Amino acid sequence: MAVKIEEARELSVTQDAPGLIDKARTDGVTTVWDRHEAQKPRCGYCDLGLSCRICAMGPCRIDPFGEGPQQGVCGADADIMVARNLGRMIAAGSASHSDHGRDLVETLLAVGEGRAPGYTTADEGKLRALAAEFGIDTEGKSSQALAGELADAMLEEFGMRKGRLQFVDRMPPARIAVWEKLGILPRGIDREVTEMMHRTHMGVDNDYVNILLHGFRTALADGLGGSMIGTELSDVLFGVPQPATSQVNLGVIRPDQVNILLHGHNPVVSEMVARAVEDPELVQRARDVGAEGIGLVGLCCTGNELLMRRGIPMAGNHLMTELVLVTGAVDMMIVDYQCIMPALPQIAGCYHTKFVSTSPKARFPGAEHREFTPENAEALAREVVREAVDNYRNRRPGAVAVPSKPVAQMTGFSVEAVLTALGGTPQPLIDAITGGRIRGAVGVVGCNNPKVKHDRGHVELTRRLIEHDVLVLDTGCAAVANAKAGFKVPEAADLAGPGLREVCRSLGIPPVLHVGSCVDNTRILHLAGALANALDVDTAQLPLAGAAPEWYSEKAVAIAFYVVAAGITTFLGVVPPILGSPNIVKLATQGLDEVIGARFVVEPDPARCSDAIVAHIDGKRKALGL
Amino acid sequence: MRYVIVGACAAGLAAAEAVCSVDPSAEVTLLTEEPYPPYSRPLISYALAREIPVTLYDLPPPSPGQVRVRTSTRAAGVDPERKEVVLEGGHSLSYDRLLLATGASSRPLDLAGEGSTNVLGFRTRSDAEVLDREIRGGARTALVLGGGLVGVKAAHALATRGLDVTLCIGSDAPLSQVVNPEAGRKVAEALEDEGVSVRTGYRPSALEGEGGRVTAVRFDPPGETLRCDLVVRGKGVRPRTELAEVLGFGDRDGIPVDARLRTPAPDIWAAGDVARTFDVAWQAPRVNAIWPAAVEQGALAGRNMAGSHETYPGSLAMNSVKVGHLHLVSAGITRPPDGPYEVRDVWDPTAGYRRVVLRDDVLVGAVVVGTDGRPGPDRTGLLIAAIRRGARIGDLPFDPLADRISWSGFAFGREAVTGGRRGPAATLPTGDPVGKEVFR
Amino acid sequence: MKTVMVHPQRCVGCMQCQSACAVAHSHTQTLYGAVFEEPRPAPRIHVGPGPGNLAFPNKCRHCDPAPCMQACMPAALWRDIPTGAVLVDPSRCINCGMCAMACPFGVIRYRADARTPGRTVAVKCDNCVERQKEGRVPACVETCLVGALEFGDPNEILRDESRRLAREVSLGIRQAPAAIPQRPEAVELWRAMGDAAEALGPGG
Ligand SMILES: Cc1cc2nc3c(=O)[nH]c(=O)nc-3n(C[C@H](O)[C@H](O)[C@H](O)COP(=O)(O)OP(=O)(O)OC[C@H]3O[C@@H](n4cnc5c(N)ncnc54)[C@H](O)[C@@H]3O)c2cc1C
Ligand code: SF4
Ligand code: SF4
């Protein structure tokens, strides 16, 4: 039942996906696109946010055409229902990032307590700087001691003692004043999530504006809490990313070597695996089984973490995770958590691939479960890599096909790296912006979603933005898409408008900068805060925007909300499930501007979205008198 | 075969179409004394109120090849021996089959001066046109005598045109022939809101005026004289049995017919407002002067005239009245006489006013009054179908007094899926009861 | 004629047909657009509780003869001969309410209609005659994932069912043949729980 390659090309703009979609169908493997098709038509009630399963008096639905019920059993109307559902999406997203962040804090704690063999504080300077930021006296303390103290201080961010999160202070005073006025200063990471779950229980908060305001607070507890901690501690433990070159797309998988795929989000496991594959003994073992060596490649955000810090090649983003297995050349897929489709172990089962889950929080039917802890990670990583090597023999030669050549990319643009590239201060960037060579900057971020032609949203939008001299910072799946499109090499400056081209050429950087994984969106937030502070303005005044052209996950909703809370208007390419409440739509797309200085824009068409972003940036520039 | 149909409105037109559908060689002559081609009588109130364009009046003409419509042609008599209809002016028309679909006319007041030019019925297109001319000619006050359905509609239409309208009713609420007084009073309130002043206990006793025009009406009780520019009779209708009476049957209660809708005279049928058919709610012969019954009967009589042998399951009174924000639906027996009847009423703000009437637990009547479209007439068909079926209240799959009538209450049986369409015999293989008589 | 047949035993009450119908009768033809249209397009099919505690998608049966047509005084209701569908001409409808009283299935509603701005008119299933012209099945049928709605000639559908039944019985293939594919156990259980709850009191 192979489909024509042209049909597969309808599903993805990439070079590598169509051939494998085709192969998947020949191999009888069901992919996300098949399942997406089988789910059609989607439930209109859920699509509009008008279904509620919060309590057992229900489930309830509200008829968007006004004929059937207009209230749930409890009396919730469309506004309440949509707001509660949205609130819970934000809570789930914030919880996910924050729980990931907590795992890093716990690893840091284990380092501090000396029970994490193999883990160190790779970036001493950042450790000290963070400790100072958290008010810890660093004088004469060993890094191990500081690791323990910082971990304690950060654990406190999850509960609530101080009244507000430490990283709030990274933002300009004008912004903090807005949050104070609205009563949405984040107080504690777990607290805001818990409170959102509480408020959206039946019979608690029934004012949609009030629920949404708390949504912003919950999201800020992510952006200035869980996510930011995740980013900062990953840097401390594994090193601050520095610009480097690497490769991307399915071509990074070499059929002649043992291939291990890392998928998920947290660098805690993947860093140890990355070290294990360098073990000479294991490399020799790979030669012994007839392979050229051991190839480690990343997927999704774990891939981004490895790419940023170690230049490990990136195989693909969310919608590629199944297709990677379809190459038949993957000997092991190691996963931790988040965005790992439960379909993956089944697909792995269609080939010889071993599927290994590592987190006690995330188990998968059909997977082999090997629980990683800070204590056992180093040894266990070696063990699983050995198994991967041994699995090489089980390859089915006829089933192997890697249809494309890798593309080069540049990566590693942490805030620190950007500042270094600029000569230590943001001033050159500010000058480029005020001088008009750079019109503004946009974070193109977020996932893939089979509702959108794979990577089209990211690539088309980014291409148009750089043509208009807009500097693009990207993370997550968007970053993979843009790298595959060839935007991440210095030569891509040719694709940019004249001003941006000149800046890129003089600095030797691409017009699209890779700043990391999804939690690393906080790097953009951090940078925005630094720019605003340097200019002594509110972040809402800067010529910035956020865009999530292909988002799918609850985490993306949390990100979008903290970005808007930071005063940065955000453009969504996929319609969120809120259209059932015209009041909330109006608030989100118009009313918010007055309240918070930014709003949401939904624009699935990348061309129109780019025009809207450019217009938005020009408006901000004009207001600043630029 | 030659078919003559006297009357070219609901019943007559349906009959002509039905005749042609059964007998392809039929030659049909439709007679109407009115000067207009077939039009929809109930639209006169809408036209008078200028709510619709006059073009809406026209009804689709029956198949032109087989049917001839003769307007301004009055039948003066019938000669059953020679099988001829005698036309006014002396000509006659022979028939093989004759249908009397002569309908009804506004009931007269039986007062001196009734023939004055500004005293009108409200039954024909010309009534509406004369009223319109009077209004354009300066008429400002109108008295509508009688609170029947037509009276209510006329009063409402005249008030919509800006006239000073008084609806004078002998009984204590409008629509006393159609609904119970409680529902009638809701209609009175709605009429007042629409600018009609409603007086109950006003019986006209004399028309006052000169020069062929009435200028005031005397009411006893209560013993008061009201001035007016126009008088409209709204006391209901009387079947037009003139032709039948000459033949020796038919009276003020209509022309009697059997289950095939035949009159006592050979080859003569009757249908519509003039025919006294079996009433399923009363379980007795009765005239139900409503449009759907006229169409149903006309169609059935037409098919039988052309050779079918169908029996009429009976008619059911039903009415739908809208006045401003009020909407009233009634069906069957709403004001039961003494006997084994039970009346259940509810009045609640969302369900509106509802009444169901039971006879030995069988549903025989219902009234639903709603405002602002809640409850609207939307699902009353389920209730009315239950009355038609003679359903027991305990067997109903929904509570007839609740607003939320199960949408699919009668959705079982073959008719439920085929919509009554007759096709090759088939049974539902699911073991569901095959309700043969879901409807009709 | 072809029409939409309902198999209530399969309906799970998701009301998808309802919104698909409203969208099919909207200007924008998309859900996201339709909910913002003024007037909002109205569904012509309604899912409600039916006999035996089953959800029942209720819609016009396109009766012949059609009681609603017989009741319609300005001849706003008419039959489209090629498809057999009973249709409303909104420009002729006077919103009198007669057809709803006459319809024994309770499927006619009165709604503001985009085709007659500012007026409320009778709204009912049109068997998607416009879609049929394009060779498409009615929107409700297309959207129903569980096969509770089937488009075809009702007599043929019923005849096929009974033939299949007869064949199965005579061949003795099955002891108690089911005319409609068996429902999965989970659905049976769900139905049984619903019946049990119904027996206990209001709601269910
Ligand atoms: C203002 C108004 C509003 C109404 N509203 C409703 C409503 O909302 N719902 C409802 O169900 N019903 C309503 N009706 C009643 C409905 O109009 C009648 O039930 C229906 O018209 C009966 O049709 P018919 O063919 O039996 O008789 P008619 O419509 O009375 O037609 C009789 C025909 O016979 C002709 N005729 C009579 N005698 C002769 C003769 N001797 N020679 C030649 N021709 C003759 C007449 O010219 C006429 O064409 C309303 C009526 C009026 C007047
Ligand atoms: S609206 Fe009702 S009466 Fe008319 S055809 Fe449809 S089901 Fe039959
Ligand atoms: S409401 Fe409209 S369609 Fe229905 S009977 Fe009246 S005019 Fe006809």
For residue B421, the model assigns a pLDDT of 43
What's residue A2's pLDDT?
42
Tokens representing A31? 């992919």
Q: How many Å apart are CA B131 and CA B118, to the nearest integer?
A: 8
C121 lines ligand 2 (CB under 6 A): no
Gap between the Cα atoms of A108 and A139, Å rounded: 19
**Pairwise CB contact (< 8 Å): B405 & C106:** yes
The confidence band for A311, taking pLDDT boundaries of 50, 70 and 90, is very high
Whether residue C102 and residue B388 make contact (CB cut-off 8 A), yes or no, is no
Q: Which residue's alpha carbon is nearest to atom 14 within ligand 1?
A: B42
Task: Provide the pLDDT for residue C182.
Answer: 59
Do the chains contact at C101 and B378, CB–CB below 8 Å?
no
Q: Which pLDDT belongs to residue A68?
A: 80
Which pLDDT score is estimated for B424? 32
For A488, the enclosing helix (H) or strand (E) is none
Separation of C100 CA from ligand 3 center, angstroms?
A: 8
Q: How confident is the model over B12-61, as pLDDT tens digits?
A: 999 999 999 999 999 999 999 999 999 999 999 999 999 999 889 999 88
Q: Pick from B291, B316, B384 the residue to mutate for probing ligand 1's pocket: most ligand atoms within 8 Å of its CB.
A: B291
Could you report the per-residue pLDDT of C26-42, keeping only the tens digit for each? 999 999 999 999 899 99
Residues of B (295-354) whose Cβ lies below 8 Å from C: 295-296, 299, 318, 320, 322, 327, 329, 331
Residue B53: closest CA among chain C residues belongs to which residue?
A: C92
Closest CB from C23, C35, C46 relative to A580? C35
Whether the predicted pLDDT of A1 surpasses 60: no
Examine the pLDDT at A299 and tell me if it is beyond 50: yes
| Cβ contact, residue pair A63, C143, below 8 Å | no
pLDDT for A545 equals 97
C128 lies within 8 A of chain B by CB: no
> Which of C25, C31, C35, C141 to mutate to test binding with chain A, by most A CBs within 10 Å of its CB?
C35
Which residues lie with the beta carbon below 6 Å from any ligand 3 atom?
Answer: C 71-72, 74, 76-77, 88, 93-99, 122
Tell me which chain B residues have a C-beta less than 8 angstroms from the C-beta of C5. 417
Q: How far is the CA of C96 from the centre of ligand 3 (A)?
A: 6
Identify which of A196, A184, A185, A213 has the alpha carbon closest to the alpha carbon of residue A95. Answer: A196
Gap from C93 CA to chain A (nearest CA, Å): 21
Ligand that lies nearest to the alpha carbon of residue B381, given by its number in the listed order: 2
Q: Tell me, what amino acid is at B62? A: P
Residues in A closer than 8 angstroms to C19, CB to CB, are: 44-45, 63-65
Tens digits of residue pLDDT in A98-113: 999 999 999 999 999 9
* pLDDT over 60 at A554, yes or no: yes
B90 φψ region: left (φ > 0), alpha (ψ -120 to 50), beta (else) = left
pLDDT above 90: residue A481:
yes
* Confidence band for A41, pLDDT divided at 50, 70 and 90: confident
User: Phi, psi (5° rounding) for residue A408?
Assistant: -80, 150
Contact B411 C63 (CB under 8 A): no
CB atoms within 10 A of CB A137: 10
Q: Does B168 touch chain C (CB under 8 A)?
A: no
pLDDT confidence of residue B434: 28
Mean pLDDT of chain C: 83
Q: State mean pLDDT over A274-287.
A: 95
Chain B residues with CB-CB distance to C179 below 8 A: 429-430
Helix, strand, coil shares of chain A, percent, nearest 5, are 55, 10, 35
The residue of chain A with its CA nearest to that of C139 is A41
C43/A65 Cβ within 8 A: yes
**Per-residue pLDDT tens over the stretch A359-384:** 999 999 999 999 999 999 999 999 99
| Cα gap A571→A585, rounded to integer Å | 14
> And the tokens for B217?
């009406």
- Using the mean position of ligand 1's atoms as its centre, give its distance from the Cα of residue B386 in Å: 27
Atom of ligand 2 minimally distant from the CA of C59? 7
pLDDT value at residue C169: 60
Using CB atoms, which residue from A43, A579, A582 is nearest to C16? Answer: A43
Chain C residues inside the 8 Å CB shell of B384: 101-102, 104
Location of structure tokens 């693009």: A472
Concatenating the DSSP letter of every residue in A433-462 gives: HHTTSS-EEEEE-----TTS-BTHHHHHHH
Cβ–Cβ gap C94/B56 under 8 Å: yes
Residue C187 Cα to chain centre, angstroms: 22
User: What is the ipTM for the molecules in this complex?
Assistant: 0.87
Please indicate whether residue B183, judged by its CB atom, sits closer than 6 Å to ligand 1.
Answer: no
A91: pLDDT strictly greater than 80: yes
CB A50 within 8 A of CB A61: yes
Interchain contact, B377 vs C110, CB within 8 Å: yes
In which band, very low, low, confident or very high, does the pLDDT at C198 lie, cut at 50, 70 and 90?
low
CB atoms within 10 A of CB A408: 13
Q: Does A48 touch chain C (CB under 8 A)?
A: yes
Say what the pLDDT of residue A251 is: 93
The closest of B400, B387, B368 to B282, measured between CA atoms, is B387
Nearest to A208 by CA among A85, A66, A89: A85
Which residue in C75, C107, C68 sits closest to C90, CA to CA? C75
Identity (one letter) of the amino acid at C167?
Answer: R
Task: Please say if the pLDDT value at position A48 is more than 60.
Answer: yes
Give the pLDDT of residue A390: 96
Contacts of A58 in chain C (CB under 8 A): none
Residue B405 touches chain C, beta carbons under 8 Å: yes
Chain A residue at shortest CA distance from C14: A43
C148-167: average pLDDT? 78
**Across all residues in chain A, what is the average pLDDT?**
94
- Positions in chain B short of pLDDT 70: 349-351, 373-374, 397, 402-440
Chain C contact for B156 (CB, 8 A cutoff): no
Q: Is the pLDDT of residue A218 over 80?
A: yes
Question: Residue A153: pLDDT above 50?
Answer: yes
- pLDDT for the residue numbered A24: 93
A235-251 pLDDT, tens digit each = 999 999 999 999 999 99
pLDDT for res C173: 53
Closest in A44, A575, A579 to C19, CB measured: A44
| Whether residue B42 has its Cβ less than 6 Å from ligand 1 | yes
Question: In a 10 Å sphere around its CB, with 0-12 CB exposed, 13-18 middle and 19+ buried, how is residue B337 labelled?
Answer: exposed
